Amino acid sequence: MISKSLEEYLKTMYVLNKQNGRVRVTDIAKKMNCTKASVNKAIHNLKNNGLLNYEAYGTIELTQAGENLAKKTLEAYDIVYLFLKDVLNLQTENAQKEAEKIKSVITDQTTNQLAKYIHKVLDLNNLDCDYDVSKEKCRSCVRRTNKK
């Protein structure tokens, strides 16, 4: 089990990889608005936990376990974000900021219950798959259907 801050680094690496096809220390530091030293420390910890592969000054590659955890972190964010934006009607920017904070402190069980609630209230597409943030599910599980 890694810290919530390390999960954020992992999530950022996953997103950067999807956007750019590669991940470097400089990219992470810029995206997370932190120092390269902080990124290097996080990389070292994540590598020791078997979540990524990295050689000094090279690109960063997530292991399958690292990718799965990054997806789980993104899914938890999506669920909290949708609740804040679409149920509580917060403005997009505020919902994004608050979702980052909230999802870093709630348990998987709470996230699962929130996902089920959102499914009922917002009539979301495909959460009938018995959504469980602890298991790998696609992010499309939290996309709305257009029923107008």
Written as tens digits, the pLDDT of the chain (148 aa) is 788 889 989 999 999 999 988 899 999 999 999 999 999 999 999 999 999 999 888 889 999 999 999 998 888 888 899 899 988 999 999 999 999 889 888 888 898 888 888 877 777 655 444 444 454 444 444 443 333 3
Residue 91 lies in domain = 71-142
Long-range Cβ pairs for the range 10-14 (8 Å, 24+) = 10/46, 10/51, 10/52, 10/62, 10/66, 10/69, 10/70, 10/73, 11/70, 11/73, 11/74, 11/77, 13/52, 13/60, 13/62, 13/66, 13/70, 14/62, 14/66, 14/67, 14/70, 14/71, 14/74
One domain, residues 51 and 93: no
0.85 cut: is pTM over it? no
Which CATH number goes with the domain that contains 44? Answer: 1.10.10.10
Q: For the chain, what is the domain count?
A: 2
- Does residue 148 lie in a domain region? no
- Does residue 24 lie in a domain region? yes
Which among 62, 83, 107 is the end of a domain?
A: 62
Q: Residue 105 has what pLDDT? A: 86
One domain, residues 75 and 56: no
